[in-house]
């Protein structure tokens, strides 16, 4: 690994430890030339995920879109930002574990709703009302009744 201070290509690893649920390796290094210490991260490069929308458009999977929708659904609810980010990461991880390279948006939405239902029922109903495009109060009521 090239030293960021002097550019020398030789450095030695002082310490290695897992980070982010053991999906990343954090390495503390020291340059053999100037003694500068720096940190590097090693992670598996995963192939890109593609989401197929209802209208057959395709776009790159972006977990920030999930986080954005969840932040709106969880507004004024006792749900931490960390819990929301973890939920989005779990959805992405589950999609990858299922072996999808291209995933329908409906699968993403159902995974989000399934996990959100367990996290906060009010936020779930908010999210579901937008995601499932409830047309009237009866559809909303049926969803609430299903939760009971």
What pLDDT sits at residue 130?
84
Q: Does one domain contain both 139 and 116?
A: yes
Look at the chain and report how many structural domains it folds into: 2
Residues 108 and 84 in one domain: yes
pLDDT in tens, 106-115: 999 999 999 9
Distances, alpha carbon 23 to alpha carbons 40, 42, 49, in Å: 14, 9, 18
Q: What is the pLDDT of residue 65?
A: 95
Cα(38)–Cα(117) distance, integer angstroms: 42
Same domain as 126, residue 55: yes
- 68 and 85 fall within a common domain: yes
According to the model, what pLDDT value does residue 20 have? 67
Establish if 64 belongs to a structural domain.
yes
Q: Render pLDDT for 15-29 as a digit per residue (tens, 0 to 9).
A: 999 886 677 899 999
Q: Does a structural domain hold residue 30?
A: yes
Residue 28 sits in which domain range? Answer: 11-43
Residues with pLDDT less than 70, the chain: 20-21
Note whether residue 2 is domain-resident.
no
Cα(38)–Cα(26) distance, rounded to whole angstroms?
A: 11
Q: Are residue 15 and residue 81 in the same domain, yes or no? A: no
**Do residue 78 and residue 129 come from a single domain?**
yes
In a domain, 6, yes or no: no
| Same domain membership, residue 60 and residue 33 | no
0.75 surpassed by pTM: no
Rounded Cα distance, 99 and 103, in Å: 9
Same domain, 31 and 70: no
132 lies in the same domain as 106: yes
76 shares a domain with 132: yes
Question: For position 131, what pLDDT does the model report?
Answer: 81
Instruction: Based on the fold, state whether residues 80 and 131 are members of the same structural domain.
Output: yes
Give the pLDDT confidence score for residue 128 in this predicted structure.
Answer: 87
Are residues 22 and 54 both part of a single domain?
no
């Amino acid at each position: 690994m090239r030293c960021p201070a002097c550019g020398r290509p030789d450095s030695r690893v002082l310490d290695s430890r897992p980070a982010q649920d053991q999906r990343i390796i954090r390495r503390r290094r020291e340059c053999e030339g100037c003694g500068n210490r720096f940190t590097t991260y090693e992670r598996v490069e995963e192939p890109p995920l593609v989401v197929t929308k209802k209208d057959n458009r395709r776009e790159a999977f972006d977990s920030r879109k999930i986080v954005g929708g969840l932040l709106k659904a969880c507004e004024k609810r006792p749900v931490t930002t960390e819990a929301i980010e973890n939920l989005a990461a779990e959805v992405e991880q589950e999609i990858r574990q299922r072996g999808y390279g291209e995933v329908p948006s409906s699968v993403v939405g159902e995974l989000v709703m399934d996990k959100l239902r367990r996290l906060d029922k009010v936020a779930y109903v908010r999210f579901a009302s937008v995601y499932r495009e409830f047309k009237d109060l009866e559809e909303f009521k049926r969803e609430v009744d299903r939760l009971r």
